[in-house]
Amino acid sequence: MANIRPQDMGKPSEQLCKIENLMPLPAPYDKPGMEPDFSTPKDAWKDTYCTSLDGFVGNETLVRPKTKEEEEAMVKQFLTGLERLFSDETNRNYLQPLMLSFEYCAKCNTCSEACHVFKASGEAEIYRPIFRSEVMRKIAKKHFGGGGLLSKFAGGDIDINFETIFRLGELAYRCNLCRRCAQTCPLGLDNGLLARELRKVFSMEMGIAPKPLHEKGSMLQLKTGSSTGITREAFLDMIEFLEEDIYERTGKQYKIPVDKKGADILLTHNAGEYMAWPENPAAFAIIFEEAGLDWTLSSELLGYDNVNYGLFYDDAQSRKSVLVK
Ligand code: SF4
Ligand code: SF4
């Protein structure tokens, strides 16, 4: 929450919403006493992380280099990655939509009104969908300034240094890639895609990606075959547990179909549902059974876990996740 005044830090969100005209939180946090408190950024964070955006650390893998030489090496890696983004040889699949979104923004800000992060932050400038895109444009203009593909863009009034680059790395994760902005842009431009392409540079060129995505997502998926670590046996156990749970709650005995040959419907859930929200697969089972549908779940890996974390930050990881299935 970048524009919260220091004296208001620690106040319950209900009060802060009134002070800052913030978007109220959804249930259950809309009730008194349920709101998570805001805490002040810690001074010590500055020594380890890049906090110059707003004092907070969202991406804990953006760790400050220890020497000037390391800083310079990181800036160089970022610029090399930027060159690869704009090359047909190294980014063929994304180059066309990237160029469209990069090149044609009319700065009308229609997208800002659609962005829940921008609105929920009390319309803090750093959360405006085009904020990070503009920083990216300025850096690209400055870097490619001498001619070539990007030399026609106006701008470039920015210093390319470690701090600027790392702030951009933090900004790339202050967006959840929902692409609501792209749906409302009159020109069809996609600021979510630009955020995703920036993440790609940090991950693929600099080895920087948040642990929940990379270590606990992609790496776990490559190791166990599943993003949640669920094996086939564990999945089948879970289905049994769901049947028992439904019986205890409703008194009705349902047999949840798994690997039923010739079923009309193959139902695939988000893999995380089985771990975090088993009531959702249970609710589907009850509704489908009561509706008399001919359906099945699948105990094949692709049937119960088709998540690909790489899609959120890294093409190489995305490819590996597809191949492991
Ligand atoms: S993709 Fe990012 S910038 Fe666009 S609306 Fe969603 S959170 Fe906002
Ligand atoms: S709505 Fe589209 S054209 Fe307007 S500022 Fe946003 S990205 Fe640019």
pLDDT (tens, 9 = 90+) of the chain, 325 residues, equals 444 555 555 555 555 555 555 677 777 877 777 777 777 888 889 999 989 888 998 889 999 999 999 999 999 999 999 999 999 999 999 999 999 999 999 999 999 999 999 998 889 999 999 999 999 999 998 898 755 555 555 555 678 899 999 999 999 999 999 999 999 999 999 999 999 999 999 999 999 999 999 998 899 888 877 778 788 999 999 999 999 999 999 999 999 999 999 999 999 998 888 988 999 999 999 999 999 999 999 999 888 888 889 999 999 999 988 887 6
Q: Contact 110/225 with Cβ under 8 angstroms?
A: no
Report which of 309, 289, 305 is spatially closest to residue 234, judged by C-alpha positions.
305
Q: Say what the pLDDT of residue 295 is.
A: 98
CA of 67 to the centre of ligand 2 (A): 39
Mutate which of 130, 132, 177, 189 to test ligand 1's pocket (most atoms within 8 Å of Cβ)?
Answer: 177
Domain definitions of the chain by residue range: 6-209, 232-304
At 105-159, the pLDDT tens digits run: 999 999 999 999 999 888 999 999 999 999 999 999 889 875 555 555 555 567 8
Q: Say what the pLDDT of residue 234 is.
A: 92
Element (H, E) at 266: strand 265-266
- The protein residue whose alpha carbon is closest to atom 3 in ligand 1 is 129
Q: Say what the pLDDT of residue 325 is.
A: 62
Q: How many CB atoms lie within 10 A of CB 274?
A: 22
CA 79 to chain centre: 23
CA 289 to chain centre: 35
Q: Say what the pLDDT of residue 2 is.
A: 42
Q: Say what the pLDDT of residue 26 is.
A: 77
Q: Contact 118/112 with Cβ under 8 angstroms?
A: yes
- Euclidean distance between CA atoms 313 and 208, whole angstroms: 10
CA of 202 to the centre of ligand 1 (A): 19
Q: Which ligand is nearest to the CA of 119?
A: 1
Q: Say what the pLDDT of residue 1 is.
A: 41
Element (H, E) at 223: helix 220-224
Q: Which ligand is nearest to the CA of 193?
A: 1
Q: Say what the pLDDT of residue 9 is.
A: 54
Name the packing angle between helices 92-103 and 129-144 (round to 10°): 100
- The protein residue whose alpha carbon is closest to atom 1 in ligand 2 is 185
- The protein residue whose alpha carbon is closest to atom 5 in ligand 1 is 115
CA of 312 to the centre of ligand 2 (A): 22
- The protein residue whose alpha carbon is closest to atom 2 in ligand 2 is 185
Q: Which ligand is nearest to the CA of 110?
A: 2
Q: Classify each residue of 86-123 as buried b or exposed e, where b means 16 or more C-beta atoms within 10 Å of its C-beta.
A: beeeebeeebebbeebbeebeeeeebbebbebbbbbbb
- The protein residue whose alpha carbon is closest to atom 8 in ligand 2 is 105
Atom of ligand 2 nearest to the CA of 184: 1
Task: Name all residues whose Cβ lies below 6 A of ligand 1.
Answer: 114-115, 117, 129, 175-181, 191-192, 195
Task: Name all residues whose Cβ lies below 6 A of ligand 2.
Answer: 105-111, 129-130, 185, 187, 189, 191
CA of 310 to the centre of ligand 2 (A): 27
- The protein residue whose alpha carbon is closest to atom 2 in ligand 1 is 175
Q: Which ligand is nearest to the CA of 105?
A: 2
Atom of ligand 1 nearest to the CA of 115: 5
